[in-house]
A and B are shown apart, each in its own frame.
Chain A
Amino acid sequence: MTGKPKNIGLFVTCLADLFRPTVGFAAVKLLEDAGCRVHVPTQTCCGQPAFNAGARANAQAIARGVIAAFERFDYVVAPSGSCAGMIGKHYPELFQDDPTWSKRARALGIKTFELVSFLTDVLGVRAVDAAFEGKVTYHDSCSGLRELNVKRQPRQLLRQVEGLELVELPSAEECCGFGGTFCVKYADISIDIVERKRKDIVATGAGTLLAGDLGCLMNMAGRLHRAGGDVEVRHVAEVLAGMTDDAPPIGDTGPTRARED
């Protein structure tokens, strides 16, 4: 890369912040390897749970905080299509009747990206310094796929990971049933949907499931574990950053499959 390093505001996402900091550090590594300077302003959540619950005023209040905290950076990057979609696509919609905030929301929106597509589409990253032995399959999380067109980018970079074999999940574009608060509000339906997904994942014969959104990953990992299989689950950034030794797979303890092999 040439020129001044880009200043990135990392929107780490509330789920990665709480449950899986490794995803945040993987994002930092990938961005720094690509020549960016990464900043982590104090943050909580993008407000999507409130927005989707119909609590518009609450969502607006949270969004104002995010806009104020992040608008000074060249780009905002999140290791999640869902949160990046919330900031990029839904913040402008949230303030459509408020000219001042609408302008700020739109300005932030156009420079907000999902991590993997930011690496490939904006930074032009073509190679990653990572190895991962084994067969993996990939689930396209809905928001990233349909709001941000994240589909080819993770596959493009995963092909660069040494030793990794990607087998396509036939139902990759079908929802896993997470849906934010849907997963507890309509738990029975959510479990039914993720059980269909689990069967499809197991049928691929892959040892590892990857995706770009922690909500979906926790949901699918939770179901895979409950059913007693041995598919391991990770965020795609961990594999691309070569950081699979830094943490066991989601919901697991101890050594990873890669080390055992």
Chain B
Amino acid sequence: MEFMQARKFKDNAREAMADRNLQSALAQLKGGFIPRRQEAADRLPEFDALRDRARELKDHVLANLDVYLETFEENCRAAGGQVHWCATAEDARAAILGICREAGARTVTKGKSMVAEEIHLNGFLERHGITPVETDLGEYIIQLAEEPPSHIIGPAVHKTKDQVSDLFLAHHRQYGKTVRQTEPGAIINEAREVLRQKYFDADVGITGANFLVAETGSTIIVTNEGNGDLTQTLPRTHIVVTSIEKVVPTLEDASTILRVLARSATGQDFSAYTTLSTGGRRDGDLDGPENFHVVLLDNGRSAMLGTEFQDMLRCIRCGACMNHCPVYHSVGGHSYGAVYVGPMGAVLTPSLEGIDDARHLPSASTFCGRCESVCPMRIPLPKMMRHWRERAYDSGASAAMERWGVDIWAWTARRPWLYEAGARLAVRLLKRLGRGRGRLRRLPLAGGWTRGRDFPVPEGRTFQEQWRARRRAARPAP
């Protein structure tokens, strides 16, 4: 499906800022997530110490990724699971299709998975005659709306309640639901009733993973709706679609990170459901899938190891960075034209898809640093966005005008005498343009500024000029 594209970020943003529904949804997001995260952090005195431990833990894993992945594979196999190593998105799709075909699947239920979004799994399955049904409420909503997620933990966060009511009315008629529900409880119940039968009908259940535990070969997901459990226990085959950086050494380590995950994401102390999967159904088990597969995606991640972008692999997909981002608050997630959005997406998307088409994403940041200040894994997001800007500048992906502008300005800034001559001229010119007023409504070459802001007129002489004049005046005559 063609949706917004990253290289059209500016146009996308303009549309988004004019979309009243989106703006009202974003205002709600900002008012909810930010105070809730703060309250959760304040309730736990050791929150910041846990963040440090979580960072160290993940750094250790990334330094020994091969070892932990192989340990995970070994223990997963020992528990009866199968691990599929996939270098690319294409490999992962092929592996999943192979498993689905083997299971004779016609429909699959899906828990929320960003990796499944990353490999564009739904469209692929549909093209191969398999119907995917999203079971996370947010994912279900955007599946009906035929849109990509706009937030990594709240995929439909851009939708207002009214829009969801309309969407359900349009799509649930076929199930005999002909009343437009407007109460949140009634809307959720309707989705629950429609989805209930889908769980039983599904041949394969696909979920993501928040963690892979090397010592036990388990995968872990956290959800608030319990949909993940139904997705993975009812069908005969369970596929976990995940990526290589999700591995942690032990269950204890997973719990360390779990303690910062929900607090950073939604402000909960813990998500409602934390589900561990260790292989398939064993003799004597009352339920569970017969077949358990882990599709382990690389897709550019191992290439980030040892580079200035390695720290990004600590990300646990909590969404705190976008919840606190002033740019995200203005433009929402779809404007980024990518699966991963906001500050974490601005770093990750160029790593996965290249900087040429994604060059706006790391550029469109004020570097206010709030993302880094709330990141539970202490990922230096602005610093890494700057590294992408450096690569764009060096490779010529940045706009030529911008590069010339910076080069000329920097050349001047290294020559104080020339700079000062220019500065004196500029302040006098602006002062004259001001004609006695304190500000300008329009200014040639500064249309971006004056489109929505007045431009202050300088006082008239530079500080250095005045300072030197005062010094001369104060000095006794020779």
Contacts and interface: CB of A to CB of B under 8 A. Distances in A.
24 contacts: A17-B423, A18-B423, A21-B461, A44-B413, A50-B410, A53-B389, A53-B398, A54-B388, A54-B390, A54-B398, A59-B410, A173-B370, A175-B370, A185-B402, A187-B452, A188-B10, A189-B364, A191-B452, A193-B326, A195-B452, A223-B452, A225-B453, A225-B454, A251-B439
A248 interface: yes
Contact of B458 (A18, A59, A223, A248): A18
A178 interface: yes
A17 B410 contact: no
Given A187-B449, A188-B10, A21 B367 contact: no
Contacts of A55: 390, 393, 403, 406-407, 410
B366 A182 contact: yes
A53 B326 CA distance: 19
B438 interface: yes
B171 interface: no
Q: Size class of B's contact patch?
A: 35 or more
Interface stretch (A108-116, A125-133, A139-147, A161-169): A139-147
Nearest to A24: B463
A91 interface: no
Interface residues of A, number: 71
Contact of A65 (B369, B414, B459): B414
Interface in A201-246: 218-219, 221-223, 225-226
A225 B440 CA distance: 10
Contact of B451 (A19, A45, A51, A187): A187
Contacts of A43: 416, 464
Interface string A168-195: 0000011101111011111111111111
A58 B13 CA distance: 30
A226 B366 contact: no
A56 interface: yes
Interface of A: 12, 16-25, 40, 42-45, 47, 49-56, 58-59, 61-62, 65, 93, 142-143, 146-147, 173-175, 177-180, 182-196, 218-219, 221-223, 225-226, 247-253
Contacts of A142: 366-370
Contacts of B327: 186, 189, 193
Nearest to B423: A18
Contacts of B436: 253
Contacts of A248: 438
B392 interface: yes
